[in-house]
Amino acid sequence: MKVLASDKLSKDGAAVFAKAGIQLDLQTGLSEDELVKIIPEYDALIVRSETKVTPKIIKAGRKLKIIGRAGVGVDNIDLPSATEQGIIVVNSPEGNTIAAAEHTLAMMLSMARKIPQAYHTLVKNHQWNRSAFQGVELYGKTLGVVGLGKIGSHVAKCSLALGMRVLAYDPFVTKEYAESHGIEIQKLDEVLREADFITLHIPKTNETKGLLNKEKFALMKKGVRIVNCARGGIIVEADLAEALESGQVAGAAIDVFEDEKEATASPLLTKELPTLVAVPHLGASTAEAQINVAVDVAQQIVTVLQGGSASAPVNIPTMRPALLEPVKPYLNLAEKLGRFIGQVVKDTFSAVEINYKGEVAAVDPSPLSTIILKGILESINPEGHVNFVNAPLIAKEKNITVKSTRSEKVHDYANEIEIIVNTKKVQASICGTLFASVGERIINVDGFTLSAIPQGILLIFAHQDKPGIIGKVGNILGESKVNIAGMQVGREKIGGKAIMLINIDNEIDDTTLDKISKIDGLLDKARIVKF
């Protein structure tokens, strides 16, 4: 077996492969085309943050069983493509916890006391100017922690020791648990309004991208200070630059940028912002962390290649590759169905029922159930940290009952995956199938039969079956320059209730969505689903 490391790897990580008798090739700085050319001969790929593992690379990796990220974030790896190919992606969620938490505290203190600016003035410009660098104390201030995972929790613990009041937003942490550690749990906007300092410890996802923007900065106290040692792109950099210029934000300590290869082109670095502290992604840059993450991921890769289970998979449930093979064709469909039902039903879930029918029922569907659950929980908790390891535990903590059934009997399709969810107010359902020739299809929503493609952006609404509604919707989308890629309508009877699913090619704004929702004959508000 052969493993390719396309980014730097510590000697300790390399030693794990040597001990297991697995060949490790270290080739750094490769372009996408160069990687595509050589990746077919490798069973595993290990990267850090520099290599972008694109769909093209993943598709070319015909022998790939696992991709390891020696670090926490995996936003440089195309997870949907890896999942579709049945390739396990793993990371090291705890290897750099202490390093990242300590770095956050260092950045916060440096910003508060203006240490980098004072250093530059004294050492570089040889000016003794104490009065220009009056800072603020952390003692007695309120810290808002967005994301109370292992890193966020350690930052909170240390900040409490410094005499700070700590507020936190994390939908997966109970009020009782937080209070037992001296932390106050609040809603996101409440944390942003009350905090003197705000630190981010959340992953970058479609939902968290641009989480802190002009609107959110306006909610904050004038003179708030912000730290981001999590992921670039969570903050809209142009909006933060504007807030720093106006004084709405008194200081920012930034370790990560949305495009790190072009970080110097960021509005934060092209403008003169004297209250900004910025460094080039040093959160995990300690000798200890580099060793920890490399060894952890290397050990997981070795285990999987030897037929075992990974301890920290981020895209596929922890299962042996041999057991994943039978459900591999359904992985993508299962996650999309979960994401659909989670985004459509905006309420607190109490129960999830998953019914497998036909060919898919003939194999062990347990990994599909976990994938579905992850899709649902990600959608109802957009700022949360959901993965395939913690999804069942999170469902249990939220008192969501999950059950599944299997039946090899089908009526119209060779295979079906049906999800039924219950909330305190409603019951909703979706059913999908996989065709060998045309791929995935949604074949039923809330009892309405149709055939919709689960990809891109989907507009969905219930309406009365009467003439003119389709035309009105089309006109509104056309006026808003939104192109229609496909449309499906299902109805119970002529003149009765109907449901419409429209695939659109570009984003739709709230104003357009409101216009559609006000069309005479619509039975509920139009909603958007993103796959």
In this chain, the answer to whether the domains covering 2-92+288-316 and 333-530 adopt an identical fold is no
| pLDDT tens digit sequence for 444-471 | 999 999 999 999 999 999 999 999 999 9
Kindly tell me if the per-residue pLDDT of 279 is higher than 90.
Answer: yes
CA neighbor of 205 nearest in space, from 86, 293, 317, 79: 79
Kindly tell me if the per-residue pLDDT of 277 is higher than 80.
Answer: yes
DSSP-H helix ranges across 330-489: 331-344, 366-380, 391-397, 469-479
User: What values do phi and psi take at 46, rounded to 5?
Assistant: -120, 130
Q: Which two tokens stand for residue 47?
A: 């990267």
Rounded Cα distance, 469 and 447, in Å? 21
Kindly tell me if the per-residue pLDDT of 381 is higher than 70.
Answer: no
CA neighbor of 297 nearest in space, from 312, 284, 283, 287: 312
What is the predicted pLDDT for the residue at 382? 53
What is the predicted pLDDT for the residue at 318? 62
What is the predicted pLDDT for the residue at 175? 83
What is the predicted pLDDT for the residue at 83? 79
Kindly tell me if the per-residue pLDDT of 323 is higher than 80.
Answer: no
Rounded Cα distance, 462 and 138, in Å? 52
What is the DSSP pairing of strand 457-464 with strand 527-530? antiparallel
pLDDT band at 325 (very low <50, low <70, confident <90, very high): confident
Most confident range, picked from 207-211, 345-349, 409-413: 207-211
pLDDT band at 497 (very low <50, low <70, confident <90, very high): very high
Adjacent-strand bridge partners of 225? 197, 251
| Mean pLDDT value across residues 56-79 | 92
Rounded Cα distance, 497 and 469, in Å? 13
pLDDT band at 389 (very low <50, low <70, confident <90, very high): low
Kindly tell me the burial class for residue 60, based on how many C-beta atoms sit within 10 Å of its own C-beta (0-12, 13-18, 19 or more). Answer: middle
**CATH architecture of residue range(s) 333-530:** 2-Layer Sandwich (3.30)
Kindly tell me if the per-residue pLDDT of 383 is higher than 60.
Answer: no
Mean of the per-residue pLDDT values for the chain? 91
If one looks up domain 97-278 in CATH, what number appears?
A: 3.40.50.720
**Side-chain half-sphere CA neighbours of 21 within 13 A:** 1
Fold of 2-92+288-316: Rossmann fold (3.40.50)
Residues that are catalytic: 231, 260, 281
Question: What percent of the chain is helix, strand and coil (3-state, nearest 5)?
Answer: 40, 25, 35
Q: Domain ranges for the chain, please list them.
A: 2-92+288-316, 97-278, 333-530
Kindly tell me the burial class for residue 112, based on how many C-beta atoms sit within 10 Å of its own C-beta (0-12, 13-18, 19 or more). Answer: buried
Kindly tell me if the per-residue pLDDT of 357 is higher than 90.
Answer: yes
pTM score of the predicted model: 0.62
| pLDDT tens digit sequence for 110-126 | 999 999 999 999 998 89
Least confident stretch, 69-83, 142-156, 321-335, 496-510: 321-335
